[in-house]
């Protein structure tokens, strides 16, 4: 009779170690309302420089772009700007830029 408990125990310890070392993903979800009537949800995840939007019934991922006045994200025909002062502007669907605020 061979003892296999060592392999099982080693696997369990390895699983526990790897599972505990992963940091929980923290996120921020923000609901916005814009002056033109547009509403959207923006999600920001730790360790991810992108913004994930739910707008016009679609999910859109925006990549972070260089901005001197704050943070700018762009992708899929959508541009989201958040200034250092906290002002938020959105451009989408070939519409003019509109001011948005947290809902």
Residues 46-88: pLDDT tens digits? 999 999 999 999 999 999 999 999 999 999 999 999 999 999 9
Distance CA 21, CA 52 (A): 26
Residue 73 lies inside a defined structural domain of this protein: yes
| Higher pLDDT, residue 25 or 47 | 47
Q: What is the CATH number of the domain that holds 56?
A: 2.40.128.200
Is residue 75 a part of any domain in this protein? yes
Does residue 3 lie within any of the structural domains? no
Asked if residue 100 has pLDDT above 70, the reply is yes
Q: In this model, does residue 30 exceed pLDDT 50?
A: yes
Q: 6-22 burial by CB neighbour count: b if 16+ within 10 A, else e?
A: eeeeeeeeeeeeeeeee
**Cβ contacts of 94 within 8 Å, gap of 6 or more:** 77
In a domain, 78, yes or no: yes
Overall number of domains in the chain: 1
The predicted pLDDT at position 7 comes to 39
Residue 39 lies in a domain: yes
Report yes or no on 48 lying in a domain: yes
Q: Which residue has the tokens 């002002």?
A: 87
Task: Give just the sign of the alpha carbon dihedral 53, 59, 60, 61.
Answer: positive
**Is 68 inside any structural domain?**
yes
* Domain of residue 83, residue span: 25-102
């Amino acid at each position: 009779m061979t003892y296999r408990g060592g392999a099982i125990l080693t696997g369990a310890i390895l699983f526990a170690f790897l599972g505990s070392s992963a940091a929980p993903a923290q996120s921020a979800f923000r609901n916005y309302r814009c002056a033109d009537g547009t509403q959207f949800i923006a999600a920001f995840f730790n360790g991810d420089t992108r913004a994930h939007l739910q707008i016009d019934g679609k999910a859109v991922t925006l990549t972070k772009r260089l901005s001197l006045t704050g943070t700018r994200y762009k992708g899929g025909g959508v541009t989201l700007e958040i200034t250092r002062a906290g002002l938020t502007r959105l451009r989408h669907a070939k519409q003019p830029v509109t001011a948005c605020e947290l809902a």
